[in-house]
Structure 1
Amino acid sequence: MIVVQDAEVRERELTLLPATSFEAGAGDAVVVRGANGAGKSTLLRLLAGMRSPSSGTVRVAGRPVDSRDPRTRRSMAAMIGLPPMAPDLTVRDHVLLVATTWSASGQDAERLAGQVLDELGLHPLATRYPHELSSGQTQLFGLALVLARPCDALVLDEPEQRLDADRLELVVAAVDRRRRAGATVVVATHSDPIEAGLGGGTLRLQGVA
């Protein structure tokens, strides 16, 4: 599903991501570890098609990745920073909107939205607006918007941010549920519980001094 071959990102004399290679198939999980500035977020942006490598290749489902390509958008769900949020839509409105966009019917969308709200413990917050959420609740809300759609590959950048241990367990379970259903998962994290919970392989980026 994901093949990265000698992908490197440079900006003038600065190397943002040293040459990196790995492969991950359907149902695989890759946990990306490394110090701040090692290139974790840059690698995830390559996978999501948000930028192109300076050299090397990145392919998802056999194709070069491009966020403007509908095929990339259909196969790849990514959370790199918080998704856009509308101030006049409730938590449930947002999740249902995403689910409706990707579902075959309104009934499917309602079911999927309810499932995601349940998975992340967000039903008590369903009628709140984004500005009424705490930082940890906002993080869960952002994750819900990514999980409320089908995908072949799921890319998450430090999903543990601002979450307590109980909420982190919910996130690990929700992500692993999608991996077991066949999605390829790539997660950049500093969290040992996420690495342990997802299993799979660990890619350690050393960065460039």
Structure 2
Amino acid sequence: MLKGLSFIFLFVLALVSCNPSVKKNGVNTQKQNTVQVQDTLDRQYRVKVGDPAPDFEMALPDGKKIKLSDLRGRVVMLQFTASWCGVCRKEMPHIEKEIWQKHKDNPQFALYGIDREEPAEKIQVLREATGVTYPIGMDPDAGIFGLYAEKDAGITRNIIIDREGKIVMLTRLFEEEEFNEMVSLIDKLLRAMS
């Protein structure tokens, strides 16, 4: 009986030691990558952290055009939203207060809301209802949204892009802990550029 238990123990030990996970700076990257991939699938993203952010051009309600690749060299936050999205309406005042008001005068930062499938008039109504002052562009056919997430996926979503144009964070819905992590990440990325 004791020999049988010893054999099982050695077998389990051998299995554990053959695990191909790699530690980087003390972090098990296999577990982290598995969680990240699962999180991306659950949230219906078409992109993942580390990917280059898909480029696009977007019109603001005043007619001005914004091209994502023209913002290279800055930390960029994209917020997908719509007037009919209750969670968006809840999150937007927090973005205004905790991110936009803190960094709007920093030339190293850019924040754009992207309104899904609504005309300029609806965007103005949304801005007034939520009290936000950051720019919100138009995505009339959800083409920009479709670069980042499945077309039938829900919003609100935030995408944080570093100065090299790589995605460093993806959020879905409004969860206080995740939102606070996003605020801290933006602060950290901007401090590193100072």
Q: Give the TM bin, normalised by the shorter chain.
A: under 0.3
* CA radius of gyration, larger in: 2
Give the structure, 1 or 2, with the largest relative contact order (CA under 8 Å, sep 6 or more): 1
Task: Considering fraction of residues, name the structure with more strand.
Answer: 1
TM-score (norm 1): 0.25
TM-score (norm 2): 0.26
Task: Considering fraction of residues, name the structure with more helix.
Answer: 2
